[in-house]
Chains A and B, each alone.
Chain A
Amino acid sequence: MHDKTLKHLSDGLASGEFSSTELTRSYLDAIKAKNGDLNAYITVTEEQALAQAKAADEQRAAGNAGPLTGIPIAHKDIFCTRGVRTSCGSKMLDNFVAPYESTVTERLAEAGTVMLGKTNLDEFAMGSSTESSFYGPTRNPWNTETIPGGSSGGSAVAVSAGLAAAATGTDTGGSIRQPAALCGITGLKPTYGRVSRWGMIAFGSSLDCGGPMTRTAEDAALMLNAFAGFDPKDSTSMERDVDDYSARLNQPLKGLRIGLPKEYFGDGLDDGIRAAVNDAVKTLESLGAVVKDISLPRTELSIPAYYIIAPAEASTNLSRYDGVRYGYRCENPTDLQDMYMRTRAEGFGAEVKRRIMVGTYALSAGYYDAYYNKAQQLRRLIRDDFQTAFDEVDVILGPTTPSPAWKIGEKANDPVSMYLEDIYTLSTNLAGLPGLSLPCGQVGGLPVGMQVIGNYFDESLLLNIGHQFQQNTDWHTKTPN
């Protein structure tokens, strides 16, 4: 049952093949069996899940079921959930129980989904491997010696290993797409402003974006339908009509113009991934798409730009964790200064501290122009590059990551080599564009993914391409043993 897509489960619930309670119980059993090894979940909310499942079954009996009613899903532990701990993978928030609900999880709850629990992540979403969590690393179900990617690694593993029908993730520089690729699932980072950030713990406010992590593009559409759209509580969410993302899935791809940026296929790309993406391109061509070579010349500059802007925003977003109102506070502070220093020294992990320091430095008097301002200029140029490309093509396609999953611990002490793994995903966040990662092959028994990048608010088109690709390939059906 756990290798079924959300769509199949939705149909099964609708036809009465099984109840939400049965489905939820079977997922909870699977979590019990496997989470010890995989560490996908930080918190499992068994009682609440069964109560929600019961309510969903009653709702269905009353004839009020929607496509997501009774579907058991997982939430990245960065979305605040009322009454359930939201840790953000940090000791700082190990004791934090929000008295409010994020808009994304609230809308999914209103759609009838059942929350199985909260999934593991890099501390405050800062990382590409889910190793920096206070709750220990999450393991890739395809090979438990390897990382699942990050920062939404727990969600990716939950879906991949059959511990949830679907999951939420957040993507600041690739944190949905990269773990989706490394775990063999589908992950969508929507356009910045399409999904409310209310109640989603901030990392880089101008980059953060919530999105679905699912088996298929069709499933991603069902999830996005439930939570996309304007939210008066988030000033950066866009007041603009939301598509029915399921409506266009079956449009033919004839005449679709796909751009292949040469910078995404250069040195540093694993040969196996290159071959897999090339095969995928051939598949899309056979479906009528037209391929064109393009250039995104500032791709390489997205790394320095991102690693200034994201830490700069993070350095001040994380100032609120001061031990005064909630969260961790050091024991027996001698005075205010001591409380601040020890609370933050003891409450944050190494990678978070590194980024706070980098960001603080970049915003400091005398360095601001050289770093932050320059990075913002680069950001505009990167955005311009994309717009120039979209004059000629409808979507841009390339690998999601330069390499498959690496061994746990391999890059833990080499932050720069870890940062380079994000080379293909960072620039879409800097530009605010949507990107969809789809499984497209395997290298050495590990899944790899390709990414389709669309213009602003073109999520429907991306999901249409993803669905058509998945109708003609079977990478998305493969599951780890």
Chain B
Amino acid sequence: MEWETVIGLEIHVQLSTQSKIFSGSSIRFGADPNTQASLVDLAMPGALPVFNENALRKAVAFGLAIDAEIGKRSVFDRKNYFYPDLPKGYQITQMDHPIVGKGHVEIVLDDGTTRTIGVTRAHLEEDAGKSLHEDFEGMTGIDLNRAGTPLLEIVSEPDLRSAKEAVAYLKKIHSIVTYLGISDGNMAEGSMRCDANVSVRPKGQTEFGTRTEIKNVNSFRFVEKAINHELQRHIDVIEDGGTIVQETRLYDSDKNETRSMRSKEFANDYRYFPEPDLLPVEIDHDYIEAVAEHLPELPDAKVKRFMDEHGLSEYDANVLSQSRAMADYFEQVAKITGDAKLAANWCQGELAALLNRDERDITDSPVSAEYLGQLIQRIQDNTISNKIAKKVFEAVAKGEGSPDEVIEAQGLKQVTDTGAIEAMIDEVINANPDQVEQYRSGKEKVFGFFVGQVMKASKGQANPGQVNQILKEKLKG
């Protein structure tokens, strides 16, 4: 039987506010346990939450970016359950009146086709703390630094039809939130976490199959692997005559398998009800307008502009605008050099290879946009050849200084002095009378041999154009 897969994602995005969503504590990553936990975060008796307006602005920006309805009146609710890293015994979240309503995003698939994916809603909530099971024999340590960190939970429609689409969607959301600057999108540090709801149904069937939820798949790669694994499990179970149980499953990346966490029968009754410590948030038109005014250029618009303004291909434009940092980098290099094509080639060539090799992000590039721009300028003004430029690039990446400094220090300046080049050519011609004979008798292939010899003699620093021209004249005899 042919199966159709149905996937919906719930993405938790940590908002990059200065302080927590309901208290003044910092949300900096990596601080010592419980050093960023205030009276509110510790749920001390009589402590009360105060809503951080910055989180609201960021959520509204996201809503505008996905063309969503913005809730004019949004309400916080308590979600009640007991867990040691949930200090109040309830999480403040939003149930019936989320800040962001229905919206949508476009994803581009590998074959170049685009699909529109619906976003059901996005709501604000607070993160829980962390339970630390190591280091405490027979006990659990609780770190409440993360408790109260603002999260935007983005819930998609069940519109995704493959693991690849799910990854493309996740990347799109990642790109939108980082473009907006509302999150650092750092998945390794948990700034973006993803749960996947997965089901299969016979192709052509309209009703959904029973779904399972895979918790906490926290890298693009694991999302794809976890979903594919879970889909295959569904198909295997059903084809063996079994049925899928609605449950929550945890993905184990080491074993590449999912296992049951809890089934629906044991699900908590969260007893949601409106949070009486916070007033409903009223958002008026002016507020939304003010946020809209400060929205940066978003990925889709940027792709279009790169094509129109810089003459890039759709492929190049897409690659270079995948992250705002990459796009900014590229644009800076293009501006310095005045040659967008050349800038694009270097960004996608040497730079991409370097970042990939060292597993670095563009924000962490060892070669700054200024230096890459300077390097390309030296090619443009014939100071160095393309080939030497690659050598200089490597040296700059190793921290040996600016391109000009490297060129100077290593004496890589191109030889453009005609007299010097003529002297080298004369030497090569005199040393190879047989090859001169062959060339003059019509075997023009040996021309390449002479170029190689001259370049070798110049340690690669002779201007290749000049070498070609002078060599041709001299060989004529």
Does A320 sit within 8 A of B, measured CB to CB? Answer: yes
Q: Which of A86, A235, A313, A322 contacts B84 (CB 8 A)?
A: A322
Interchain CB contact under 8 A, A320 and B273: no
* Inter-chain contact B89/A320, CB cutoff 8 Å: yes
Other-chain residue from B51, B88, B269, B276 in contact with A206 (beta carbon distance below 8 A): B276
Q: Which residue of B lies closest to A204 (CB)?
A: B276
| Set of chain A residues within 8 Å of B89, measured between Cβ atoms | 316, 319-320, 322
> Given the complex of chains A and B, what is the CA–CA distance between A336 and B90 in angstroms?
17
- Given A236-B277, A324-B142, CB of A86 within 8 Å of CB of B45: yes
Contact of A320 with B46 in the complex, beta carbons under 8 Å: no
When A316-B78, A320-B88, A324-B84 are in contact, do A98 and B45 touch as well, CB less than 8 Å? yes
> Are A326 and B44 closer than 8 Å at their CB atoms?
yes
Q: Which of A194-202, A240-248, A445-453 contacts B (4 or more CB under 8 A)?
A: A194-202
CA distance A326 to B46 in the complex (A): 13
Of A160-168, A284-292, A359-367, A413-421, the stretch lying at the interface with chain B is A359-367
A330 to B80, CA, bound (A): 22
A316 to B277, CA, bound (A): 12
* Alpha-carbon separation in the docked complex, A202 to B46 (Å): 6
Most chain A beta-carbon neighbours within 10 Å: one of B45, B278, B279: B45
- In the complex, B50 has a CB within 8 A of chain A: yes
What residues of chain B lie closer than 8 Å to A31, measured between beta carbons? none
B-side contacts of A79, CB under 8 Å: 46
Of the candidates A326, A336, A364, the one whose C-beta lies within 8 Å of that of B271 is: A364
Residue of A nearest to B79 (CB): A316
Contacting pair A197 B45 (CB below 8 A):
no
Complex CA–CA separation, A320 to B91 (angstroms): 11
Contact B43 A320 (CB under 8 A): yes
**In the complex, how many angstroms separate the beta carbon of A160 from the nearest chain B beta carbon?**
26
Q: Is the CB of A320 within 8 A of B87?
A: yes
Q: Which residues of A contact B142 (CB under 8 A)?
A: 324-325
**Per a CB cutoff under 8 Å, which of A100, A234, A319, A365 touches B90?**
A319
Is A235 within 8 A of B82, CB to CB? no
A372 touches B273 (CB 8 A): yes
Secondary structure type dominating chain B contacts: loop
Within 8 A of A (CB), among B22-73: 39, 42-51
Determine the chain B residues whose CB is within 8 A of the CB of A324 once the complex forms.
Answer: 84, 87, 142
Interface flags for A295-324 (1: CB within 8 Å of B; 0: not) read: 000000000000000001101100110101
Contact B276 A205 (CB under 8 A): yes
Q: Is residue A230 within 8 Å, beta carbon to beta carbon, of the partner chain?
A: no
Given A205-B277, A364-B269, A364-B271: A233 in contact with B48 (beta carbons within 8 A): yes
In the docked arrangement, what's the CA distance between A363 and B78, Å? 11
Q: Report the Cα distance A316→B93, complex, angstroms.
A: 14
Interfacial chain B residues near A390, Cβ < 8 Å: none
Q: A475 near B: Cβ within 8 Å?
A: no
B50 touches A98 (CB 8 A): no
Among B44, B51, B90, B140, contact of A316 (Cβ-Cβ < 8 Å): B90
Contact of B46 among A80, A236, A319, A364 (CB under 8 A): A80
Which one of A197, A204, A360 contacts B48 once the chains associate, using CB atoms below 8 Å? A197
Q: Tell me, yes or no, whether A18 is within 8 Å of chain B by CB.
A: no
- Determine if B273 and A197 form an interchain contact, defined as CB atoms under 8 angstroms apart: no
Indicate which residue in A80, A201, A235 contacts B50 across the interface (CB closer than 8 Å): A235
Contact A368 B273 (CB under 8 A): yes
A340 within 8 A of B: yes
Q: How many residues of A contact B (CB 8 A)?
A: 42
In the bound complex, residues from chain A placing their C-beta under 8 Å from that of B39 are 99-100
Judged by a CB distance under 8 angstroms, whether A93 is at the interface is yes
- Taken residue by residue from 191 to 228, chain A's Cβ proximity to chain B (1 for < 8 Å, 0 otherwise) reads as 00000011111101110000000000000000000000
Collect the chain B residues with CB atoms within 8 Å of residue A325's CB.
42-43, 87, 142
Question: What B residues does A80 contact at CB under 8 A?
Answer: 44-46
In the complex, chain B residues whose CB is within 8 Å of the CB of A340: 82
Separation of A86 and B47 alpha carbons in the complex (Å) = 14
Q: Is the interface of A mostly helix, strand, loop or mixed?
A: loop
**Size class of the contact patch on chain B:** 20 to 34
If A319-B82, A319-B89, A320-B88 touch, whether A313 touches B276 (CB-CB below 8 Å) is yes
Instruction: Give the distance in Å from the alpha carbon of A312 to the alpha carbon of B39 in the complex.
Output: 24
A177 to B311, CA, bound (A): 78
Taking the closest CB of chain A, its distance from the CB of B282, in whole angstroms, is 13
- Is A322 within 8 A of B82, CB to CB? yes
User: Do the beta carbons of A96 and B45 come within 8 Å of each other?
Assistant: yes
Quick check: B45 and A316 within 8 Å, CB to CB?
no
- Residue A235 contacts which of B45, B272, B279 (CB distance < 8 angstroms)? B279
CA distance A205 to B92 in the complex (A): 14
Task: Answer yes or no: A63 CB below 8 A from chain B CBs.
Answer: no
Q: Please give, as numbers and ranges, the residues of chain A lying within 8 Å of B49 by CB-CB distance.
A: 235
The answer for the CA separation of A425 and B78 in the assembled complex, in Å, is 28
- How far, in whole Å, are A319 and B90 apart by their CA atoms in the complex? 8
Q: How far is the CA of A155 from the CA of B307 in the complex (A)?
A: 76
For A88, A202, A360, the residue with the greatest tally of chain B CB atoms inside 10 Å of its CB is: A202
Partner of B80, one of A198, A206, A236, A316: A316
A313 to B277, CA, bound (A): 10
Please give the distance in Å from A447's CB to the nearest CB on chain B.
31
Q: How far is the CA of A367 from the CA of B475 in the complex (A)?
A: 99
Query: Are A235 and B51 interface neighbours, CB within 8 A?
Result: yes
Judge whether A232 is part of the interface by a CB distance below 8 angstroms. yes
- A470 CB-CB contact with B under 8 Å: no
Q: Which residues of the other chain, A, contact B84 by a CB distance below 8 angstroms?
A: 322, 324, 336
Shortest CB-to-CB span from B108 to chain A, Å, is: 41
Which of B42, B46, B271, B279 has its CB near the most chain A CB atoms (within 10 A)?
B46
Q: Cβ of A102 < 8 Å from any Cβ of B?
A: yes
Q: Is the CB of B48 within 8 A of A88?
A: no
Choice from B43, B46, B88 contacting A197 with Cβ under 8 Å: B46
A365 to B271, CA, bound (A): 7
CB distance from B105 to the nearest CB of A (A): 33
Contact B43 A316 (CB under 8 A): no
Query: Do the beta carbons of A198 and B46 come within 8 Å of each other?
Result: yes
Which residues on the A side are within 8 Å of B44 (C-beta)? 80, 98, 100, 326
**B452-470 CB contacts (< 8 Å) to partner A:** none
Residue of A nearest to B84 (CB): A324
Known: A235-B50, A319-B82. A312 touches B45 (CB 8 A): no
Contact with A along B222-261 (1 / 0, CB 8 A): 0000000000000000000000000000000000000000
Chain A's closest residue to B85 (CB) is A324
- Least Cβ–Cβ distance between B41 and chain A, in angstroms: 10
Bound together, the chains give a CA A312 to CA B90 distance in angstroms of 13
> Once the chains bind, are B269 and A365 in contact (CB under 8 Å)?
yes
Tell me which residues across on chain B come within 8 A of A93, comparing CB atoms: 45
A234 to B277, CA, bound (A): 8
Which residues from chain A contact B277 at a C-beta distance below 8 Å? 202, 205, 235-236
Shortest distance in angstroms between A180's beta carbon and chain B's nearest beta carbon?
Answer: 23
Interchain CB contact (< 8 A) of B45 among A315, A320, A363? A320
Q: Which residue of A lies closest to B46 (CB)?
A: A199
Mark each residue of chain A from 226 to 265: 1 if its CB lies under 8 Å from any CB of chain B, else 0: 0000001111100000000000000000000000000000
By beta carbon, the residue of chain A nearest B88 is A320
Inter-chain CA distance A363–B84, complex, in Å, is 22
Q: Which residues of A contact B87 (CB under 8 A)?
A: 320, 324-325
Q: Report how far A180 CA is from B78 CA in the complex, Å.
A: 34
Separation in Å of the A107 CB from the closest CB of chain B? 15
A100-B47, A235-B50, A365-B271 given; 15 more Cβ-contact pairs under 8 Å: A199-B46, A200-B46, A202-B277, A233-B48, A234-B50, A235-B49, A235-B277, A236-B279, A316-B273, A320-B88, A322-B82, A324-B87, A360-B271, A363-B272, A363-B273
A-B contact list, 17 entries, CB within 8 Å: A80-B44, A86-B45, A93-B45, A96-B45, A98-B45, A98-B46, A100-B47, A198-B47, A199-B46, A199-B47, A234-B50, A235-B278, A313-B276, A325-B43, A336-B84, A365-B269, A365-B271
On A, residues with C-beta under 8 Å from B are 79-80, 86, 88, 93, 96, 98-100, 102, 197-202, 204-206, 232-236, 312-313, 315-316, 319-320, 322, 324-326, 336, 340, 360, 363-365, 368, 372
Q: Nearest 7 A-B pairs (CB), nearest first? A: A319-B89, A205-B276, A363-B271, A206-B276, A199-B46, A320-B43, A201-B45
